[in-house]
């Protein structure tokens, strides 16, 4: 599996990571199989959040990890905190308590990466800095990052916290390309020129923040899977063609469209099916040409000015 380097410490992480949001509906035995399949295919990175299944995804992951043959020291574990029922909460007390809850549910003494899940308009950067300081001093977190933050929000937080924010987890996939569209349509007046995210793609590159692409196979906001979906004939036809060319499969090719971006980027695959995960890991053997990357972008319904 190809690796990406994360942060100033150059931590090597697999370019395909496994997202655990959907595991609460699975049994521990099924999750053991999923985790062991991941590791046997070179995946060393696992993404969770306290809010997934109301803590159940972390609990199920912890149980499965303990029951598996996986050595915790050989994998990287990330969780996200800061969302609670009907509000986002980055207060120091909540962050410290939330991390302790996550560690307890997963049966861990530390996570490798901790992300703030969605920006809290009431955040006090100095308070977050104190929380991060304590978490790191106590050996509970190695590295910090954010999710769904725009560049200004990153800067607001970064000017207060001592640790570099090394990751931004963002929705990105062939059918969700806003941060790419805006760059192409700079200086235009059409709808795609509207920059909703403040130059997020370029900002992440400039500041050495790894982009973690969440929901890589969904269109809209959890509206469904675009792969093999008759609503999207053009992009699926091209995915099939490229899958045949590379003796691969459509899920892997769609992942490589993201991984072709010349920056530190990971795909957070959310499958709960070990067979599908093995297929996605075949992305490792595909490198799209420049022309193929653009053809897929256009087949997904986008245009270039
Ligand atoms: N930071 C955030 O705000 C945020 C938000 C959402 C998610 N996330 C993270 O991102 C991870 C991935 O999100 P996601 O689960 O939405 O991603 P995803 O990988 O796009 O979607 C996974 C879902 O799509 C299905 N699927 C994939 N390929 C398919 C195909 N060819 N045919 C039919 N079904 C297919 C999977 O079914 P099977 O299980 O049957 O394969 C599963 O239900 C999450 O686990 C979480 O870690 C982060």
Atom 17 of ligand 1, nearest CA residue: 215
| Neighbour-count burial of 230, counting CB atoms closer than 10 A to its CB (0-12 exposed, 13-18 middle, 19+ buried) | exposed
Q: Using pLDDT thresholds of 50, 70 and 90, give the confidence band for residue 95.
A: very high
pLDDT score, position 196: 87
> How many DSSP H helices and E strands does the chain contain?
11, 14
DSSP-derived pairing of the beta strands 3-6 and 11-14: antiparallel
SS3 18: strand
What are the structural domains of the chain? 3-232+261-286 (3.20.20.100)
pLDDT score, position 221: 86
CA of 21 to the centre of ligand 1 (A): 8
Q: Where are the beta strands (DSSP E) in 104-242?
A: 111-116, 141-147, 165-171, 210-214, 218-219, 224-225
For residues 86-98, average pLDDT: 97
pLDDT score, position 8: 86
Task: Tell me the H-state helices in 216-260.
Answer: 233-245, 250-259
What's the CA gap between 262 and 249, in Å, rounded? 22
For 120-144, the pLDDT digits (tens) are: 999 999 999 999 999 999 999 999 9
| Neighbour-count burial of 23, counting CB atoms closer than 10 A to its CB (0-12 exposed, 13-18 middle, 19+ buried) | buried
Which atom of ligand 1 has the smallest separation from the CA of 147? 1
For 158-195, the pLDDT digits (tens) are: 999 999 999 999 999 999 999 999 999 988 989 888 88
Stated pTM of the model:
0.98
CB proximity list for 104: less than 8 A, separation 6 or greater: none
Question: To test the ligand 1 pocket, which listed residue (271, 273, 278, 281) has its Cβ within 8 A of the most ligand atoms?
Answer: 271
CA of 271 to the centre of ligand 1 (A): 5
Whether residue 266 has its Cβ less than 6 Å from ligand 1? no
Q: What average pLDDT is seen over the chain?
A: 97
For residues 212-228, average pLDDT: 95
pLDDT score, position 12: 97
CA angle 215, 159, 143 (to 5 degrees): 50
For residues 272-295, average pLDDT: 97
- Closest alpha carbon to 210 in 163, 264, 246, 259: 264
Structure tokens at 94: 């909540």
For 237-274, the pLDDT digits (tens) are: 999 999 999 999 999 999 999 999 999 999 999 999 99
pLDDT score, position 222: 84
- Counting every residue written for the chain, the total comes to 305
Which atom of ligand 1 has the smallest separation from the CA of 80? 1
Q: Using pLDDT thresholds of 50, 70 and 90, give the confidence band for residue 85.
A: confident
Torsion of CA 214, 37, 40, 71, to 10 degrees: 90
């Amino acid at each position: 599996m190809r690796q990406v380097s994360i942060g100033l410490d150059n931590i090597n992480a697999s370019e395909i990571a496994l997202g655990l949001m959907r595991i609460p509906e699975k049994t521990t035995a099924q999750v053991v199989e999923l985790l062991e399949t991941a590791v046997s295919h070179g995946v060393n990175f696992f993404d969770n959040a306290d809010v997934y299944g109301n803590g159940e995804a972390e609990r199920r992951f912890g149980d499965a990890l303990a029951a598996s043959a996986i050595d915790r020291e050989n994998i990287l574990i990330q969780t996200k905190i800061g969302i609670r029922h009907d509000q986002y909460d980055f207060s120091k007390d909540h962050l410290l308590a939330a991390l302790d809850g996550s560690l307890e549910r997963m049966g861990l003494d530390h996570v490798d990466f901790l992300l703030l899940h969605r920006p809290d308009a009431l955040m006090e950067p100095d308070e977050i800095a104190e929380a991060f300081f304590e978490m790191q001093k106590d050996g509970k977190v190695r590295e910090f990052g954010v999710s769904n933050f725009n560049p200004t929000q990153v800067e607001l937080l970064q000017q207060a916290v001592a640790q570099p924010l090394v990751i931004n987890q963002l929705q990105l996939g062939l059918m969700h390309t806003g941060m790419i569209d805006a760059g192409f349509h700079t200086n235009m007046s059409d709808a795609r020129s509207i920059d909703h995210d403040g130059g997020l793609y370029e900002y992440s590159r400039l500041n050495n923040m790894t982009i973690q692409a969440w929901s890589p196979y969904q269109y809209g906001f959890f509206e469904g899977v675009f792969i093999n979906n008759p609503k999207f004939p053009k992009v699926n036809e091209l995915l099939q063609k490229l899958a045949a060319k590379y003796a691969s499969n459509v899920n892997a090719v769609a992942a490589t469209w993201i991984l072709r971006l010349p920056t530190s980027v990971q795909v957070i695959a959310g499958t709960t099916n070990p067979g599908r995960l093995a297929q996605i890991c075949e992305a490792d053997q595909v490198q799209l040409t420049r022309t193929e990357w653009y053809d897929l972008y256009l087949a997904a319904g986008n245009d270039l000015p």
